[in-house]
Structure 1
Amino acid sequence: MKIAVLADPHGNAVALRAVLADLKSFHPDKTIIAGDLVGYGPEPKEVIDIVRGIDAIVIKGNHDDAVIRKDYSDMNELAAFAAEWTASVLDDERVFYLSELDFMKEFELEGRKIGVYHGSPEDPFEYVFSEARARALLGKSTMDVIICGHTHIPMFVRCADRILLNPGGVGQPRDGNPDASYALLDIDDLRPEFRRVRYDINKVQRQMIEAGLPVFLAARLSMGV
């Protein structure tokens, strides 16, 4: 069984469509999206509609939660601006969809226990950057597979017969590579294939500027930071 693992589309519908077109050729049995459908990007409505139109296991992230609650106090100035803008353009029905998403999902596939969390199993807003922290989480978890997002940086850590996987960011990669990032995971051997997909960054940047979103948020897409 093969799973497509995505995270952090962040209102970037152009990148999300490119990723979905790429993964289609691999015929994954399941698709997982580890949160932050919105925030930063210029097309939050479109991203929500795309996600609702596919058969995917989806959770919410911190940007989704901020838009739902209209509370941006824990965000930096640029993220807060973008989240507030996102809340202003989303209708109640789409906000309700976000509000119905869970912060985590735990389930079983092919005898493997899989946990999907935006940040970590212990905190939906935790950034898991280090291998040491990943190993600590694996050591405490009952899951065979921990899937995280939030950092926008691809990560794979194996500890005995358990793994932690972060597929990187679809809508705003931060590992120095501007191409959209996702992963394909073989459930049988727990080996991921990280995929990078080019998309029309210039188009998204124009959309962001036209929407009045901060220039830096548009510029960073070209840098992958």
Structure 2
Amino acid sequence: MRTAFMSDVHGNLPALDACLAHAERRGCEHLLVLGDVVGYWDDGIACLDRLRSVGASFLRGNHEAMLLGDLDVPAGAESVYRLSETREQLSAEQRRFLAGLEPRRELELGGRRWLLVHGTPDDPLEGYAYPDGDLAAFENLTFDYVVMGNTHRAMLRKAGQVTVVNVGSVGLSRDIGSRSTFGVYDASTDQLSIEEVPMNVDLVRRNYPEAHPSVRAVLDRGPT
């Protein structure tokens, strides 16, 4: 059984569709979404509907919390996040659905113990754990896998006996802007991989002309 882990779709429907197609080709039977379906690009509602239509399970991200008014939008960030546009499209049913999500989930998969968070174990909603950061705090956790999002930077590292994963971003990768990343776990081999999917940057630019210039600029980001 293979399970896909996606995060930080951020309203980028072309990128999401490409990742869903890739996950299907990889034989994924389940999909777990680690939050931030909305924000930045303007198809957050369409992305939410698409993910629900394929039976995905969800965590809440900080952008969902801001969308619902449970978390303040940082000063000056509304023009970048464009959450007011998404909020205008949100139905009462969708609002109830998002309000019921949590930023943290524990589960067993493949005989292993998993912790899923949007942020970090100590700050599930807003925390950041970067690929070059100190992971000492993860070593004493009682999980086999910790899977995160939020940074938009993919990571697959070990901290003691814990496999620490950030699946990166479907919609706005801050590693290489012209690709999406997500995770695939194969329970038969107990292996997790970071999948890289090319993004149709020209289509994204055409679809979202109102996106903030700083967001559009991320699409041009190359490897460092």
Do they fold alike, i.e. is TM over 0.5? yes
Letter in 1 for 2:16: L
1:23-34 matches, cutoff 5 A: 23-34=23-34
Deviation at 1:56, TM superposition (A): 2.3
1:161-180 matches, cutoff 5 A: 161-180=161-180
Deviations 1:39-58 (A, max 9, x none): 01121111010111122221
The answer to whether the 8 Å contact 2:118/2:149 transfers is: yes
Between the aligned partners of 1:185 and 1:67, the Cα distance in structure 2 is 30
The match for 1:153 is 153
- Larger mean Cα displacement after TM superposition, 76-85 or 10-19: 76-85
The match for 2:214 is 216
1:65-84 matches, cutoff 5 A: 65-69=65-69, 71-74=71-74, 77=77, 81-84=81-84
Between the aligned partners of 1:32 and 1:39, the Cα distance in structure 2 is 19
Between the aligned partners of 1:75 and 1:150, the Cα distance in structure 2 is 19
Relative to structure 1, the CA distance from residue 187 to residue 132 in structure 2 (aligned partners, 3 Å threshold; closer, same or farther) is: farther
TM-score (norm 1): 0.88
The answer to whether the 8 Å contact 1:59/1:104 transfers is: yes
Superposed CA RMSD: 2.2
Between the aligned partners of 2:167 and 2:177, the Cα distance in structure 1 is 13
The answer to whether the 8 Å contact 2:8/2:35 transfers is: yes
Deviations 1:112-137 (A, max 9, x none): 11111000111021110155533422
Kindly tell me the number of residue pairs found equivalent between the two proteins: 222
1:1-225 matches, cutoff 5 A: 1-69=1-69, 71-74=71-74, 77=77, 81-123=81-123, 124-130=125-131, 132-137=133-138, 139-187=139-187, 189-209=189-209, 212-223=210-221
Q: Which secondary structure does the structure 1 equivalent of 2:146 belong to?
A: strand
Percent of counterpart pairs with the same letter?
Answer: 26
Letter in 2 for 1:125: E
Letter in 1 for 2:137: A
The answer to whether the 8 Å contact 1:152/1:172 transfers is: yes
TM-score (norm 2): 0.88
Structure 1's unaligned 5+ residue stretches are: none
Structure 2's unaligned 5+ residue stretches are: none
Between the aligned partners of 1:88 and 1:221, the Cα distance in structure 2 is 26
Deviations 1:133-153 (A, max 9, x none): 33422x232221111000010
Between the aligned partners of 2:86 and 2:136, the Cα distance in structure 1 is 35
The answer to whether the 8 Å contact 1:42/1:204 transfers is: no
Letter in 2 for 1:136: A
Between the aligned partners of 2:114 and 2:35, the Cα distance in structure 1 is 16
The answer to whether the 8 Å contact 1:179/1:224 transfers is: no
